[in-house]
Amino acid sequence: MDFSLNDDQLQAQKMVRAFVATEVIPTIGEWDRKQEMNPTTLPRMAALGILGVCVPVRYGGQGFDYVTLGLVCEELERGDTTLRVVMSVHMGLNSLSLLQWGTEDQKQRFLVPQATGEKYGAFALTEPGVGSDVVNMTSTARRVGDKYILNGEKMWISLATKAHHFLVVSKTNPDAGHKGMSAFIVTSDMPGVTAGDIHGKLGVRAGSTGWIAMQDVEVPVENRLGEEGEGFKIAMSALDNGRYTVASGATGLIRACLEDSMKYAKERKTGGKPIAEHQLIKQKIGYMQQWYDAARLLYLRAGWLKNQGIRNTRETSVCKWFATDHSVQAALEAVQIHGAYGFSDEYPVERYLRNSKGAVIYEGTSEIHQLMQADYALGNREDRPLRQELPAYDPEFWQSEPAPAAGD
């Protein structure tokens, strides 16, 4: 068993850590207060290759492995949750689904521009009346000749007003339960697609969250991802990757709480000594360290399984559940350590607390993950092989340029 990071992983981690320290942390409080996304966030992430970090070079990406994706998400959320959310939807839920399920033509048309950062991707599953119970969605996709006509609304969509490509799941056969759903690549410029932002959120205020409405949107059959009826499985497999980015990001949030609390506890004095010397403060710091270590090991295990091409639905679910639940706990403790200052936006810990809450709701609530873990343990749930698995990390393939076409 090898717990060390290789040179590529360390290099990516160092680059993102420097970006966060110099370009995110100094100004993020201001953007959070304004409740706006910094307009340079997405272009800078694109320019640094972050938006294609875990996509093979031949598809416009940087060719790093799945563990590196986790490390990058940890570093991004050390700065602010909003940057990690970008990775969850653009990379985890959308780009990796194209890599897993897309045809070569779809990869060229949609994955390449997403990996280079020329276009942004998002994921549209949730609806105004349907979250955990995906199977009861009401949006529809009706086949007419070589097109599908999509109608319905999608809600709580990260990057709704920024993304160019949406991975949309809708019902192609409303009577067939989870076998009656299909997945489509819908572009924001298709007639009938409208999107708007949602304001007044508790957290991720410097991020973009919104809704999408589809009215008689004509989607060519070439934009269907996977076979008709595979939409539920595609959505669940996308969540296996999205949840991994949420978990590794939440690990970064625990680290932010720990680092900021340690700094404050060493500076702040009560009774003539730094509060870091009081046992009840040490208890909180000790717990945060324990949560950070456990969350990190859980996501590294999930990343390792992805690298080997081994199905990891259960391991990703348990790490998403653990890391996000404990990021809320860590943020509560961080605010407590900061006392009254923790209750004001003079220190970032109040933002950490507000940001932590979303991740125990999206990409499977903690309750859904708890039920899934119980069902795996009780033998009620097992993973069956898929028609198309997420490709294992093979450095030779991931880092090589495509062979030149005949005649080039």
> Could you give the residue numbers annotated as active site?
363
Give, in order, the Cα–Cα distances in Å from 386 to each of 210, 240, 263, 309, 391.
Answer: 31, 13, 48, 12, 12
Minimum CB distance to ligand CAA smaller for 57 or for 368: 368
Minimum CB distance to ligand CAA smaller for 274 or for 309: 309
Beta bridge partners of 76: none
How do 165-171 and 121-124 pair as beta strands? Answer: parallel
Minimum CB distance to ligand CAA smaller for 25 or for 371: 371
Q: Distance between CA atoms of 130 and 137, rounded to whole angstroms?
A: 6
Q: Distance between CA atoms of 115 and 286, rounded to whole angstroms?
A: 39
Where does this chain touch ligand CAA (CB under 6 A) — which range of 16-24, 111-119, 235-243, 343-351?
235-243
Q: Could you say whether residue 134 binds ligand CAA (CB under 6 A)?
A: yes
41 Cβ partners below 8 Å, 6+ apart?
82, 83, 86
- Amino acid identity of residue 372, one-letter, is M
Of the chain, the end-to-end C-alpha distance in Å amounts to 45
Where does this chain touch ligand CAA (CB under 6 A) — which range of 23-31, 123-131, 318-326, 343-351?
123-131
Shortest CB 391 distance to ligand CAA, Å: 15
Q: Could you say whether residue 237 binds ligand CAA (CB under 6 A)?
A: yes
Q: Distance between CA atoms of 368 and 51, rounded to whole angstroms?
A: 29
DSSP 232-258: HHHHHHHHHHHHHHHHHHHHHHHHHHH
Shortest CB 363 distance to ligand CAA, Å: 5
Q: Could you say whether residue 332 binds ligand CAA (CB under 6 A)?
A: no
Shortest CB 294 distance to ligand CAA, Å: 22
Q: Could you say whether residue 353 binds ligand CAA (CB under 6 A)?
A: no
Q: Distance between CA atoms of 150 and 177, rounded to whole angstroms?
A: 18
Q: Are 218 and 190 in contact (CB under 8 A)?
A: yes
Rule CB under 6 A: choose which of 48, 163, 372, 390 binds ligand CAA.
372
Minimum CB distance to ligand CAA smaller for 211 or for 393: 211
Rule CB under 6 A: choose which of 126, 172, 312, 355 binds ligand CAA.
126
Q: Could you say whether residue 362 binds ligand CAA (CB under 6 A)?
A: yes
Shortest CB 92 distance to ligand CAA, Å: 9
SS3 279: helix
Q: Express the helix, strand and coil content of the chain in percent, nearest 5 each.
A: 55, 15, 30
Structure tokens of 165?
Answer: 């490509």
Q: What residues between 276 and 315 interact with ligand CAA by CB under 6 A?
A: 313
Q: Could you say whether residue 178 binds ligand CAA (CB under 6 A)?
A: yes
> What does the binding site for ligand CAA look like in residue numbers (CB under 6 A)?
89, 123, 125-126, 132, 134-135, 157-158, 178, 232-233, 236-237, 239-240, 313, 362-364, 368, 372, 384, 386
